[in-house]
Amino acid sequence: MSFHNTLVRKVAGISLCAAIGFAGLAMGQAPEASAATSKADKIISLGQKYLGVKYRFGAPSGSTSAFDCSSFTQYIYGKHGIKLPRVSNSQAAKGYKVAKSNLKRGDLVFFTTARTGKKIGHVGVYVGNNKMLHTYGAPGVTYSAINSRYWKSHYVTARRVL
């Protein structure tokens, strides 16, 4: 085998290894993004199974016969390996802050309530299109627009825990 053929084979081999390595890096980044999206979709899908389940303030952790807002998020995230504290104010300290303009499916959105005054007292799951999945009052587990008059005026922050 000539020096030229050997050199060409080595260069081709190195180029092929580099191409495979770079492709692997690129593919390694894509699954991370899709994994978060996939987990968000699974969490939201589980939450949807409870549409209409009644609201009960102080509902116990793990109960699925009734939820309050934070027991609901704690339950559906917990079923997918994300441990959240029991109350919304404590859940608002998890993950990292996300601007309202950068919300993604699966982000937690937090609000004040009449009961809590200026403190966080409500949490929902952002599902996209300015809507959240949450539970409160008579509708129980339901969807609401986060930019409706009430929720928009009580919005505090959002956290990404996925």
The answer to whether 134 is a known catalytic residue is yes
User: In whole angstroms, what is the distance from residue 86 CA to residue 123 CA?
Assistant: 11
DSSP letter string, 127-155: EETTEEEEEETTTEEEEEETTSHHHHHHE
Cβ–Cβ under 8 Å, residues 87 and 70: yes
The answer to whether 4 is a known catalytic residue is no
Which residue is catalytic, options 4, 17, 80, 122? 122
Q: Residue 126: enclosing H or E segment and its boundaries?
A: strand 120-128
The answer to whether 69 is a known catalytic residue is yes
Which residue is catalytic, options 4, 17, 69, 80? 69
Q: Which residues are catalytic?
A: 69, 122, 134
